[in-house]
Chain A
């Protein structure tokens, strides 16, 4: 099992996030980064907001980082929960990755996929192996692929 989602210093986590986002901005796929970072209390940080991309693709992020140790001013943090929903503005959902919801309903990481360009409103759901769920950067890479795979349709939006 890899350490992809292991604990990281808050400063490192944010720097990595900024570097990745900047790469997508420089590459032209991300048009604006509307994510906000805020302290919730009880050892939690939240990241929420929308990332607007080419072709009307919008990634809505809701993510919890938990303080798991480290220095007071620069704690170790680790993702506790997330919901990454990517959709085509005015059309429908493309893909949504969610952390486990509850013991009774989808207790494992999972992904909902929709054939959004063919009116698929219900989609399919697959489990995602532990620690194989994507970072925001991984999902932006996936969405960029979706955009270029459907360039003829999406570039007109």
Chain B
């Protein structure tokens, strides 16, 4: 599993090092989910414990207008969407 790379550090790499780093990152990205995915799941579980509700209940209560979407809840939703495979309704233009 490739470690995360600080984007500010990419500039310091030589062209060869940079290419190698990108190849390793790309190979991991198209492989199966890895330890980073487990970390993402851990974040979701943290939110669920702190708010004492499952992500499914969060979505139901948001759609009924019972909960306000705060910055932290937006982060929670982001990670739920990542875990589900990427985007909620997709950011990509059709």
Contacts and interface: CB of A to CB of B under 8 A. Distances in A.
Interface of A: 1, 5-6, 10-11, 14, 17-18, 21-22, 32-47, 49, 60, 62, 64, 66-68, 72-75, 78-83, 85, 87, 93, 96, 98-109, 112, 122, 130-131, 133
A70 to B, nearest CB: 9
A38 B91 contact: no
The interface residues of chain B, by DSSP majority, are classed as: helix
B62 interface: yes
Residue among A5, A40, A87, A106 with the highest chain B CB neighbour number at 10 A: A40
Nearest to A36: B4
Interface residues of B, number: 48
Interface string B5-47: 1111011000000010011011111111110110010000000
Contact of B5 (A5, A34, A36, A66): A36
Contacts of B8: 21, 32-35
A17 B40 CA distance: 24
A35 B26 contact: no
